[in-house]
Every structure is written in C-alpha cells, then in structure tokens.
Amino acid sequence: MLLIKSLLALAATALAADFPTVEVVGNKFFYTNNGSQFYMRGIAYQQDTSSLETTSDSTVHFVDPLADAESCKRDIPYFQEVNTNVLRVYALDADANHDECMQALQDAGIYVIADLSAPNISIITDSPSWTIDLYNRYTQVIDVMAQYDNTLGFFAGNEVITNSSNTDCAPFVKAAVRDMKKYISDSGYRNIPVGYSANDDGKTRVASADYFCCGDLDERADFYGINMYEWCGKSSFSTSGYKDRTEEFSNLTIPAFFSEYGCNVVQPREFGDIEALYSDDMTDVWSGDLGRFRKLEDSNCLSFSKDR
C-alpha cells in the first residue's frame, strides 16, 4: 500500500514537472494533466501582415514575432499583466529558431496557436487550391511548433471563405485540415488540434461551422474560430449581436471561440465585449478569445484593458 502510494506520489511529481498540454474533447479545450477546462484569454500577436506587398519574386518580408527572443521577452510582462494564456501568431518563418521565445512563453504559462499559411502562401479565396507547395509550407510550420508543449493548435486557413459567392474554396481548406491531422498523427506528434478561423459573414458563418465540424474525426476540423467585430462602442450582450451568435453556435460539436474580436469602426474600444464573453451568458458555448489586443507596428501600441 505504502509502495503504491509512493509510486503515485512519484508519478504526480513527474506530471507536475511537465508543462500541461491542452487538447480538445467534444466542444471544449482541456488541460491534459488534470482535466480542467482551458478557456482562452488571448492576444493576436503580430505586426499586421495583411498590407504587406509581395515582391516580384513572391517573397514577403513579414516579421515573425516568435523569432526575436528579445522583443518576445520584452512583451511577456505585458501579456502577464492582463492575464493572457495564449497568443495567436499569423505567419511564422519556418527556418527561424523559436526555442528561446517559446520557452519564455512557457515559463509564463502562455500557449501559442499558429496560422500555417503566410502572406505569400495561403489558400486563395477566388482561386483556391491545395498544392504540394502549400502542403510543404504547412508541414514545415507543424514540424517547428509540434516540439513545444505550449503549442495549442494550428489554423489551416484564415477568412478564406468570405461570403456566399466563394464557398467553393471551403473544401480546399478542409482538405488541408484533414492532411495536417494525418501528418501530425503519422509524425508521432502529440494530438495538436487543427482548425479554421472564419470571418463573420451573416450568410456563411453557421453553414461553414457545420461544414468544418462534420465528418469523421480524421477529416473534420478540431475547432472553429470566428473573427468577430460586432460589438462597437457601448453595447450589450443582446444588442451587440453576441446573443444571436451564441444561440447560433450553441449546438456546435467542436470548440468555438473568437479568433479575433473588437470593433473596426468605433474607437476607442471600451472592452465591454470582454465582460460579456466571460459571463455565464457565453461561457457554455464559447471557449474564449484570441483578440483582445492586436500588436500593431510595435509593442508600444499595445493597449490594455486592466479589468481582466
């Protein structure tokens, strides 16, 4: 009996020493060490890549926010100050070294969810394809990130479907999800979830969520993010649109969360949206957010809500 107890104690110590990974079960994220739910309190952490120009040789010079250990470490105290537990990064340089930044984030209890595409290599809305080049790009990022216990997941696409005129690109993204899940499993990596980040189009958001979450486990998305810009200025759960969205997504069988959010038109942001997202009205349906702030030109532009 004593022996069993000591063995259990040893096992518990060994587990405690490991950084707890996070996995998807049903429509929620959970810590694998103790089964507690993991609720995202995230920041989108990258200089905006959408306006970057592709040069004639199709290279794009974006800044990989996890490759520069110095700026990464500079920003971590700010992340901690607002109780952040996950960062979203939009484009990584698969050839760069990320060890130092990822370790520093892990030491701060911060996870990372990474887009697999880059500004010059992604599934294109009006001319979709799923090619060997894309496959190679996506798997390179997975090879880089799968080694870290604090990698939370991957996006196989961001706002690829934008409205009902281009839903024909959805199967290409879903093929990417399927192939990346297989790649992760064939490579013997931990079961890191792969999902999609959608825009908030009224005609496609629910159908698209249903499309990504249907099918067998090996082909469906593991989670669905929605980039949400409905709450502007002073608003409320019911008037903002959050109530309707929460009802629409209430039966989704995979985790749903705000993969970006805020408001594009009204400044300054008052952050009432955060209070709503973390209230009982929403926590049953959503798994949190990744977009409380956006890193703009440099981290001096981070603005904070100190309420959380």
Ligand X SMILES: *[C@@H]1O[C@H](CO)[C@@H](O)[C@H](O)[C@H]1NC(C)=O
Residues 6+ apart with CB under 8 A from 95: none
Strands 224-228 and 256-261: parallel
At residue 113's C-alpha, the angle toward residues 234 and 35, to 5°, is 90
Q: Which stretch binds ligand X (CB under 6 A): 76-84, 247-255, 274-282, 284-292?
A: 247-255
Locate 253 and state its tokens: 């069988």
Q: Is 159 a catalytic residue?
A: yes
DSSP 23: E
* Active-site annotation holder among 23, 70, 260, 275: 260
Of 32, 33, 49, 299, the one binding ligand X (CB under 6 A) is 33
106 interacts with ligand X by CB under 6 A: no
Residues 6+ apart with CB under 8 A from 25: none
> Whats the size of the chain, residue-wise?
308
Locate 293 and state its tokens: 């702030």
80 interacts with ligand X by CB under 6 A: no
* Active-site annotation holder among 23, 70, 159, 219: 159
Q: Are 237 and 279 in contact (CB under 8 A)?
A: yes
Residue 242 CA, distance from chain mean position: 20
Q: Please, is 234 exposed, middle or buried when counting C-beta atoms within 10 Å of its C-beta (0-12, 13-18, 19+)?
A: exposed
Of 59, 80, 191, 236, the one binding ligand X (CB under 6 A) is 59
- Contact track, ligand X, 108-147, x by CB under 6 A: ----------x-xx---x-------x--------------
Q: Is 230 a catalytic residue?
A: no
First to last CA, the chain: 45
281 interacts with ligand X by CB under 6 A: no
Of 28, 49, 52, 60, the one binding ligand X (CB under 6 A) is 60
187 interacts with ligand X by CB under 6 A: no
247 interacts with ligand X by CB under 6 A: yes
203 interacts with ligand X by CB under 6 A: no
- Binding residues (CB under 6 A) for ligand X: these are 20, 31, 33-34, 36, 58-61, 118, 120-121, 125, 133, 162-163, 165-166, 247-248, 250-251
Q: Which residues are known to be catalytic?
A: 159, 260
